[in-house]
Homo-oligomer: A and B are copies of this chain.
């Protein structure tokens, strides 16, 4: 266990301890700015992103992933539909469900984030294939982990609320 391993540990600590966190803060900020630019709330934008990622979902699925209540989902879908971002279709196999589809091939979001994409592409020029593979695997791996931990956290929060008998956001009220 020599200098190489030590250097690795130092890099790892730097990544998880500072870089990843600063990155997250920036991403959240950007996400909000994009939503504002499009005339959407952050929640609407988040749901639209999920829909684009996962293909077609039912409203209940969207609620399960985001942690939103069914009432909130109704509002999100109504706003996004009215603004032309998505359309609803009844599920042929289940009369209660509404399947949500993206209405636009090329979303207006693309135009908003393209300048950033271009800059990131330029940044990636500096790396070799071996490194790019690492970046791709890092992103895919952390995305998965982050999703799982978010779901876990929400589950804990909900069960805590049951234990402490509070409604709403704050425990002391």
Contact = CB atoms under 8 A, between A and B. Distances in A.
B145 A123 contact: yes
A151 B153 CA distance: 30
A93 B29 CA distance: 30
Contacts of A170: 39
Say how many copies of this protein the assembly contains. 2
Nearest to A117: B16
Interface residues on A, range: 35 or more
A136 B112 CA distance: 26
Contact of A145 (B42, B116, B128, B134): B116
Nearest to A124: B12
B129 A131 contact: no
Interface string A86-97: 000000000000
A139 B19 contact: yes
A12 to B, nearest CB: 5
Interface in A62-96: 65-67
B145 A36 contact: no
A34 interface: yes
Interface in A110-161: 112, 115-117, 119-121, 123-143, 145-147, 149-154, 156-157
21 contacts: A4-B129, A11-B132, A12-B124, A15-B124, A19-B140, A19-B143, A21-B53, A22-B140, A24-B49, A25-B49, A30-B153, A32-B66, A33-B157, A37-B156, A37-B157, A39-B170, A112-B153, A119-B145, A123-B145, A131-B133, A134-B135
